[in-house]
Structure 1
Amino acid sequence: MRAITYDRFGPATDVLTLEDVPVPAPATGEVLVRLHMSGVNPSDIRARAGGRPGVTEPPFPKIIPHSDGAGVIEAVGEGVPSNRVGDRVWIWNGQWQRAFGTAADYISLPAQQAVTLPDHVSFEEGAVLGIPGLTACHAVLGGGPVAGQTVLVSGGAGTVGRLAIQVAAASGARVLSTARGDEAIAVAKNAGAEEVFDYTDDRLADRILEATGGQTIDRIVEVEFGKNAETNTKIISERGTIAAFGSAKDMTPVLPFYPLMFKAVTIDLVLVYILSASERETTVANLTDLLNRNALNFQISDVLPLEDCATAHDMIAGGNRSGSVLLKM
């Protein structure tokens, strides 16, 4: 089968190679998936570039990148019902703590990591569910129902932010968001945000509270935890939650501890790779329900052929996209 591989860290064009490798055989409890799409995420780029804290060399001699993907089950290992053959599926954690991910014609992985894809959902959309979809869903609903609550989604024009707005709106919340620039603000509004604020505004906290009539925010879905800590402390409700899935602009933030403590704020650091079994089951179920209700609209920026994997990595690293970037097999 064709696969993109790398055996060292470095620039995408230097280390990513297209080669032929054997088709894997599904082990006990595994399924073999013929992939149609591979989702490319910022975390894949950091992993290939050696950007994860404390990781100085690749953890495996040869790596096939990417954790997200979608395709059809072609074979099953011992212990997996044979009626799963032919299932359309989407994949989570394809390359998390494993050598071989989804940037290939096939992947073999534990059966529970291949989730049935509703018939009306395309493979392109399925390839966005693993990291962006689960992150958005867990960040919004990980603490329980949000119906009747006010939810603020930071960076609502981003892939996760845009999905989080839709998840919150479809779950009965009043949704506010932040973005920058007319185009990004329009994206967040079109996703379902009632009001969208410029996150560069020096009076951002005041603007938000003015819009809510002084009502504080029940839940904040945060893409830049450190940078927005002061603002979020001002606007979060007592016993509210800040569900943060990123802090790239301030990776070692200093927190206003006592103001947060005296509101009894919960800080939920969202990393969907290591959800507990019960959290994973709930989040997948919530995501499936939203898909079945046609509540989610996915924004695909580019679909490139497998051999253009390095181009896809560079597009994401350079910010040259307006949605998800996928590889087509």
Structure 2
Amino acid sequence: MKAVVYRGNGGPGVLRLVDRDLPAPGPGEVRVRVAVSGVNPADVQARSGAALRFPEVTPHLDGAGVIDAVGDGVDRGRAGQRVWVFLAAAGRSTGTAAEFTVVPAEQAVPLPDGIGFEVGASLGVPALTAHRALTVAEDGPRRLRPGALDGRVVLAAGGAGAVGHAVIQLARWAGATVIATVSGPEKARLAAAAGAHHVVNYRAGDPAAGIRAIAPDGVDIVAEVALGANLALDLAVLRTRGTISTYANDGGKPVELDVLRTMVLNARLQFLVLYTAGPDVRAAAAEDVAAAVRDGALPVGEEHGLPLLRFPLDRTADAHREVEGGAVGKILVDVPVPD
């Protein structure tokens, strides 16, 4: 099979397209013929600097395709099932930047007929992270479904990013009023297309006043992508006992915490990453995201607020360069059908 690999850290140039033996699924595993591989910032970070646990790594955590073989203990009827895959390369050497990948069966989630593989490959890390961000509030739901966030106000910081896009879509599906912050008109258009009820340009005027005009009692949950840069704004609009769920610190600005103000708010500052969230949390998130997909709540593409930038497998290095360059949208790698 064709696979993209790297054997040492470095820039996108360390990625190589090679021929490898077809992997066999072990007990509890499935083998997926990958149709589309999703690229996340985490994939780029792993390639560029994370300690290698294997002599050779095929990158990418997310993807979508068709199960073509199952290991012992897995329902044989799953062969031929369309699926989306998450965390394929987490703790394993076989990610989705290949014609085939092997993952634990529970990490291959059924993808309904009529939902494209590009949707499936865009779920994974962004959608599961968004789910986690929306389910950690002290008095909020632990699971998402229509109505679970009725009466709540969610602020999606960076609403034009992949996680921000998923926050908007999942929060709206669950019944929240959704406000997105963006840096300019084009990103405002994308956040609105994703389903945000209100969009605020944080670089114009007084964004805190704009958000408070929409939510006078404050925001219940902030899904935060740049904590160091945005914490002061978050605290200015957070309601008492509200939650800031932070999944990144884009820009790398140091976080300066006003402890007294945060204490008076009884605010919850929740840091999150999928790897250490625990298997039960990830399983619940996958179930809820799958339900949202069945309801048609997580579409992708320019018209839905998440432009798709697509590359063939032999240009995976260029896909990584787009991520490193801060491209707006979802970066996908199309994997050809094996000969």
Q: Which TM-score band (shorter chain)?
A: over 0.9
| 1:227 aligned partner | 229
Q: CA shift at 1:78, angstroms? A: 1.0
Equivalent of 1:301 in 279, 285, 308 = 308
| 2:39 aligned partner | 40
Q: Are positions 1:156 and 2:159 aligned together? A: yes
Backbone CA RMSD of aligned residues? 1.5
Equivalent of 1:288 in 284, 287, 290 = 290
| 1:316 aligned partner | 323
Query: Is the Cα contact below 8 Å between 2:109 and 2:290 reproduced in 1?
Result: no
Question: Could you list the per-position Cα deviations for residues 62-101 of structure 1 after superposition, in whole angstroms to 9, with x for gaps in the alignment?
Answer: 0100000111111111111111111111111111111111
- Percent identity over the alignment is 37
Structure 1 residues without counterparts, runs of 5 or longer = none
| 2:112 aligned partner | 118
Query: Is the Cα contact below 8 Å between 2:184 and 2:203 reproduced in 1?
Result: no
SS at match of 1:254: coil
Q: CA shift at 1:186, angstroms? A: 1.4
Moved more, 159-168 or 65-74: 159-168
Q: CA shift at 1:266, angstroms? A: 1.3
Equivalent of 2:97 in 88, 100, 103 = 103
Q: CA shift at 1:136, angstroms? A: 1.8
Q: Distance in 1 between matches of 2:214 and 2:282?
A: 35
Question: Could you list the per-position Cα deviations for residues 201-244 of structure 1 after superposition, in whole angstroms to 9, with x for gaps in the alignment?
Answer: 462212211333x3211111111111111111121111111111
SS at match of 1:226: helix
Q: What amino acid is the match of 1:313?
A: H
Q: What amino acid is the match of 1:315?
A: E
- 1:115-264 aligned at under 5 Å gives the runs 115-143=109-137, 144=141, 145-201=148-204, 203-212=206-215, 214-250=216-252, 252-264=254-266
SS at match of 1:262: helix
Query: Is the Cα contact below 8 Å between 2:38 and 2:332 reproduced in 1?
Result: yes
TM-score, length-scaled by structure 2: 0.91
| 2:144 aligned partner | none
Q: Distance in 1 between matches of 2:279 and 2:91?
A: 16
Q: CA shift at 1:254, angstroms? A: 2.1
Q: CA shift at 1:199, angstroms? A: 1.6
Q: Distance in 2 between matches of 1:193 and 1:72?
A: 33
Equivalent of 1:326 in 318, 322, 332 = 332
Q: Are positions 1:10 and 2:13 aligned together? A: no
Q: Distance in 1 between matches of 2:228 and 2:155?
A: 16
Moved >6 Å (runs of 4+): none
SS at match of 1:303: strand
Q: Distance in 2 between matches of 1:223 and 1:59?
A: 28
SS at match of 1:152: strand
SS at match of 2:229: coil
TM-score, length-scaled by structure 1: 0.93
Structure 2 residues without counterparts, runs of 5 or longer = 142-147, 302-306
Moved more, 267-276 or 237-246: 267-276
